[in-house]
Amino acid sequence: MGKLPSLSERGKEYYALDLASNLPPGTDSPDQLNTNRRQPRPPAEPKRPLPEWPPEAERKGKWISAYLDKLDPETEYDQIIKTATFFTGNSFAIALGYTSTLLHLAQTPAGAAATHHGGKIFRRGHQRFYETQDFILDCMWHGSSSAAARSRAGTVNRIHARIWRDVPGAYSSPFEGEMSLIGSAFFETMLRKLVGARRADPHPVLAAAWPAWAERVLAHFRTEPADGGGSFAVNFPRDFDELERFYRWFQNLPMDRFTNDEDRRKGHELAEAFTRQFCELWFPRQLHWLGRLVLLTIVPRQVREQQQLGHPNRFGAALVRLFFKIQIDLADALPDPVRPSFYDDYMACKGWGWSKIDANVVRVQKRSAQKLNVLLVVLLVIVGAGLFWRSSKGL
C-alpha cells in the first residue's frame, strides 16, 4: 500500500463507502443514495390540544401504556418520547446506549478520523458523555423542533465545522449521522431481545414515535460543504421496522474490507477510550472488569472483533444477560412510576459545571474505591476470625 494522503488532503471520496449494492434501509435506490435524496419531513402540525399526563392520584398500575394509547404518533411523537424517557429512563441506560453506539460509529474511516481528531473522549470523556446526554434530554423534554433542540444542534454543528476544516470529507455521509440517533432509539429493544425479556417489542405507539422524533432531531444537523451542506436526516427510516433493519444493516457492514490499518488503529483507540470512560463513571476501580464485561456482552461480536476489544467470558456474559432480563421483566411487572424521576437527574446535571465533571468523577470514584477497599478488609477480617474460631474449637 502506498503512502496515505494527510488528513487535510483527503476528501469526501476518500471516506465514501461502496454501498450501491447494499443500500441502507430507508434508501430506495442507488440514485437516492447520493443525489435525489428523500428529504426529512417537517415538524408535524398539531391536530388538537395535547392530552396532558393524568393527575398523580390517577397514575396507578400500568398507566403509561394506557396514556400512550391516547396519543397520535404522527403528530404527538414528542410527548410520547418524553413520557417514555422521563418516567422509565435513567443515566445508566443512556450511558450503555451511548457507548455501544459510539463503538459502532468509530469503526468507519470517517467516524474514526473525525472522532479521533476531535479527541474530547481522550481529554474530557465524562464531560463529553454528560453534554451528549443533556442535548438528547433537551430534545426529549422540550421537543424535537424546539428552540432548545435547534440551539444545541447549532452548537454541535459548529464543533463539527471546526473538525471538518482539518478533516475534510469526514462529515459527508448522512447514514453515519443517522446511526448516532438510531442506536439510541433502538437500544432498549435490542437489549430486550438480546437478554430474552418476556416483552421484547416496544409499545406500538412508542415504536411509531421513535423514527418520527429522531428524524426531526437529526434534521437540525448539517453535513459539510463537500456534501452540499445538506441535512443528515435524508432517507431516514420511515417506521420502526425500517429503523431496526437499519441498525442491523450497520452492524453487518464489512468494516474489515472498508478500513485500513490507520482506521483500525484509531477505531481501537477510540473504542478503548469509550469503554474506559463507561467503566470509570459507573464502577469503582476494583470493578472496572465488571463494567467491561457488561459492555462487551451487549456489543455484537463483529463490532468487538473490528475494534479489537476481545470477547466476554461466556459464563460472565450469561450472568449479565440474566441480570438484565430479571431487571427488565421486574420493571415490566411492577406498577409504572408516578413521577418523572429522571427529570430531577436531568436538571441536576445542568448545575454541575461541564468543565468540572471529569475532576468530580475522579474524586467520587476514588472515594468509592477506598470504601470498597475498607469493606473488603473488614470482610477478610470477619472470615479470618471465623476460621480461627472454628479451628480453635476443633470444628
Mean pLDDT across the chain: 93
Using the predicted structure, report yes or no on whether residue 162 has a pLDDT greater than 80.
Answer: yes
Residue 103 lies in a domain: yes
Number of domains in the chain: 2
pLDDT band at 385 (very low <50, low <70, confident <90, very high): low
Which region among 1-10, 25-34, 201-210, 370-379 has the lowest average model confidence (pLDDT)? Answer: 370-379
- Given a contact cutoff of 8 angstroms between Cβ atoms, the answer to whether 260 and 194 are in contact is no
Q: What angle do CA 46, 49, 53 make, to 5 degrees?
A: 115
Task: Say yes or no: 390 and 309 in one domain.
Answer: no
Residue with cell 503512502: 3
Query: 2: alpha, beta or left, given left = phi > 0 and alpha = psi -120 to 50?
Result: beta
Residue 73 lies in a domain: yes
pLDDT at 333: 97
Task: Say yes or no: 286 and 379 in one domain.
Answer: no
Residue 24 lies in a domain: no
Residue 33 lies in a domain: no
- The DSSP annotation for 212-224 comes to HHHHHHHTT-B--
Which of 104, 142, 114 lies closest to 10, judged by CA? Answer: 114
The sign one gets for the Cα dihedral 222, 228, 230, 235 is: negative
CA distances from 260 to 15, 111, 271 (A): 11, 13, 16
Percent of the chain whose pLDDT exceeds 90: 86
- The DSSP annotation for 240-277 comes to HHHHHHHHHHHHTS-HHHH--HHHHHHHHHHHHHHHHH
Residue 32 lies in a domain: no
Task: Say yes or no: 189 and 64 in one domain.
Answer: yes
- Given a contact cutoff of 8 angstroms between Cβ atoms, the answer to whether 184 and 97 are in contact is yes
Please list, in sequence order, all residues whose beta carbon lies within 8 angstroms of the beta carbon of residue 389, skipping any fewer than 6 positions away. none
Task: Say yes or no: 157 and 230 in one domain.
Answer: yes
Question: What phi, psi does 340 have (nearest 5°)?
Answer: -80, 75
Cα gap 244→373, rounded to integer Å: 44
pLDDT band at 3 (very low <50, low <70, confident <90, very high): confident
Task: Say yes or no: 42 and 162 in one domain.
Answer: yes
Task: Say yes or no: 314 and 368 in one domain.
Answer: no
Please list, in sequence order, all residues whose beta carbon lies within 8 angstroms of the beta carbon of residue 360, skipping any fewer than 6 positions away. 352
Task: Say yes or no: 383 and 244 in one domain.
Answer: no
Task: Say yes or no: 343 and 375 in one domain.
Answer: no
Domain span at residue 111?
Answer: 11-17+38-352
pLDDT at 371: 76
Partners of residue 222 on adjacent β-strands: 231
Residue 30 lies in a domain: no
DSSP 313: -
Residue 26 lies in a domain: no
Task: Say yes or no: 273 and 385 in one domain.
Answer: no
Using the predicted structure, report yes or no on whether residue 239 has a pLDDT greater than 60.
Answer: yes
pLDDT tens for each residue of 126-147: 999 999 999 999 999 999 999 9
Q: What is the value of pTM for the model shown?
A: 0.92
11 exposure class (CB count in 10 Å sphere: 0-12, 13-18, 19+): middle
Question: What phi, psi does 231 have (nearest 5°)?
Answer: -80, 145
pLDDT tens for each residue of 256-312: 999 999 999 999 999 999 999 999 999 999 999 999 999 999 999 999 999 999 999
pLDDT band at 177 (very low <50, low <70, confident <90, very high): very high
Task: Say yes or no: 321 and 385 in one domain.
Answer: no
Q: What angle do CA 65, 334, 317 make, to 5 degrees?
A: 105
Cell of 25: 434501509
Using the predicted structure, report yes or no on whether residue 1 has a pLDDT greater than 60.
Answer: no
Cα gap 108→259, rounded to integer Å: 7
Using the predicted structure, report yes or no on whether residue 366 has a pLDDT greater than 90.
Answer: no
Q: Please report which residue ranges of the chain form alpha helices under DSSP H.
A: 12-15, 30-34, 63-68, 77-88, 91-105, 109-118, 120-123, 125-141, 147-166, 174-195, 204-218, 240-251, 255-258, 261-282, 288-298, 301-306, 314-333, 342-350, 357-392
pLDDT at 226: 75
Task: Say yes or no: 284 and 376 in one domain.
Answer: no
Residue 114 lies in a domain: yes
pLDDT tens for each residue of 58-117: 999 999 999 999 999 999 999 999 999 999 999 999 999 999 999 999 999 999 999 999
Task: Say yes or no: 317 and 383 in one domain.
Answer: no
Percent of the chain whose pLDDT exceeds 70: 95
